[in-house]
Amino acid sequence: MRSLEGIKVITFEHAIAAPFCTRQLADLGARVIKIERPGSGDFARNYDERVHGLASHFVWTNRSKESITLDVKQQDALEIVHGLLADADVFVQNLAPGATQRLGLDHASLHARYPKLIVCDISGYGLDGPYRDKKAYDLLIQSESGFLSITGSQDEPAKAGCSIADIAAGMYAYTNILAALIERGKTGRGRHIDISMLESMVEWMGYPLYYAIDGQTPPQRTGASHATIYPYGPFKAGDGKTVMLGLQNEREWKRFCETVIQQPDLAEDGRFSANSRRVENRAELGRVIETAFGALTARQVIERLEEAKIASAQMNDMHAVWTHEQLAARQRWTRIATPAGAVDALYPPGVGQDDAPRMDPVPALGEHTDAILRELGYREDRIETLRQTGAV
């Protein structure tokens, strides 16, 4: 049995944050019914065509779901929504601010009718406050949360290469829903969950925030290097390849000097005798390290780092990740079906083949509309009428 078998989730979702949340619920066995706009659906379906003609974002966040198309501005379609909610456990939405209130699908309205229902609202800034109605996209939240101020080079900020603000919000929605399900098992009552992308990202900014407390200088942008620990980041070897390494304490610094750059006296040099001093003198120390690494290949540097038991990593591109030997050795890849054919997919972290995670197909737009309506008791002639009026 999968952990969330028997849990029914209804979702009005688009883009990344809510779909990423609900896909993880589906991974654990929940039934996720995705309500989409007739004709167009979740706009993330059209972000790109990289996966055999399908959008990369959509394939990533929407496997194992059922898709029903409903024009919820029509009363007949809204009645179908309530038919789905009647025995649902969770309702998730990340529509534009105010949309669910206009439809009578906000928490206050739903709680009166379905007291056991867990309602999760995901938005850019939260359901109240002066920013409530502002549009919010991933890059904008990266900016508002301060993330861009500490990411990039000294000359220019840089966004995260993935949708980090959406992912943060999706993860907090997912974990709060799991907690609410446990709570409901004890109390019999549903719960309202209000997830803000801004608050999710600011929580992740905890260390830089505290580093800058009481008006102190915030962490500086240092590219791929750590802003407040040194040496920690990328260094070029003599063959032009980059080695990523990270020191965590003074024992490792001593071993680094002795074994890796083979300059044991440097460990006692007053300029570098503590992390704060190494950070202050990072440019000078960086030149020493690059000179030492310049006489070695990247493989030789990594061999010395391994000998010294100092953390290191390769700077992989996406092609290298697809073929990563560790993922292959742990059998972390499987195949899932999509409307454009089978594609590779990573098993959910923490879940393996023996747990039988749900890895069902990515749905075509409206693929399950008729089946779901039949399940709700609609006859074929009624379904055809709904289709002719554009309600489905």
Show me where the domains of the chain are located: 8-205+331-389, 232-315
Q: From residue 171, give the alpha-carbon distance in Å to each of 176, 196, 254, 322, 365.
A: 8, 11, 39, 23, 25
Fold of 8-205+331-389: Rossmann fold (3.40.50)
Same fold, 8-205+331-389 and 232-315: no
Decide if 230 contacts 279 (C-beta within 8 A). yes
For residue 79, give the amino acid letter: E
Peptide bond into 231 cis (omega under 30): yes
Decide if 11 contacts 91 (C-beta within 8 A). yes
Closest CA to 124 of 114, 132, 115, 116: 132
pTM beyond cutoff 0.85: yes
- Give the C-alpha separation, 145 to 293, whole Å: 37
Output the CATH code of domain 232-315.
3.30.1540.10
List the beta bridge partners of residue 242.
236
- Give the C-alpha separation, 354 to 25, whole Å: 18
> Token pair for residue 229?
């620990």
- Give the C-alpha separation, 289 to 237, whole Å: 10
- Give the C-alpha separation, 97 to 100, whole Å: 8
Tell me the pLDDT of the chain (392 aa) as tens digits. 899 999 999 999 999 999 999 999 999 999 999 999 999 999 999 999 999 999 999 999 999 999 999 999 999 999 999 999 999 999 999 999 899 999 999 999 999 999 999 999 999 999 999 999 999 999 999 999 999 999 999 999 999 999 999 999 999 999 999 999 999 999 999 999 999 999 999 999 999 999 999 999 999 998 889 989 999 999 999 999 999 999 999 999 999 999 999 999 999 999 999 999 999 999 999 999 999 999 999 999 999 999 999 999 988 889 999 999 999 999 999 999 999 999 999 999 988 777 788 999 999 999 999 999 999 999 999 999 999 999 99
Closest CA to 326 of 296, 304, 346: 346
